[in-house]
Amino acid sequence: MDGKGRVFDNIFIERLWRTVKYEHLYLSDYTTGLDLLAGLATYFDFYNHERFHQSLDYRTPAQVYGLNQVPLV
């Protein structure tokens, strides 16, 4: 992330927002900013804990993250 013109700097975030828009925002009808915020919070909970990801071998990000945690004690 070293500046303007680096197409690969934001590729993962761009892909995430594309998914959010096509799977949630374009299918929802929010009337207020608070409704939008609550809807996005619900969607991101679904995205991280229930939605299976092909790139993660059909596991959720929460499952993958949980596998890589090292106990502190």
pLDDT: is 30 or 8 the higher one? 30
Q: Which tens digit of pLDDT belongs to each residue from 29-66?
A: 999 999 999 999 999 999 999 999 999 999 999 999 88
pLDDT: is 69 or 46 the higher one? 46
pLDDT: is 15 or 7 the higher one? 15
Query: Residue 57's pLDDT is what?
Result: 93
Give the per-residue SS3 of the chain: CCCCCCCCCCHHHHHHHHHHHHHCHHHCCCCCHHHHHHHHHHHHHHHHHCCCEHHHCCECHHHHHHHCCCCCC
What mean pLDDT do residues 7-27 have?
90
- Whether 70 has a pLDDT exceeding 80, the answer reads no
What mean pLDDT do residues 10-36 have?
94
The residue extents of the domains of the chain are 11-67
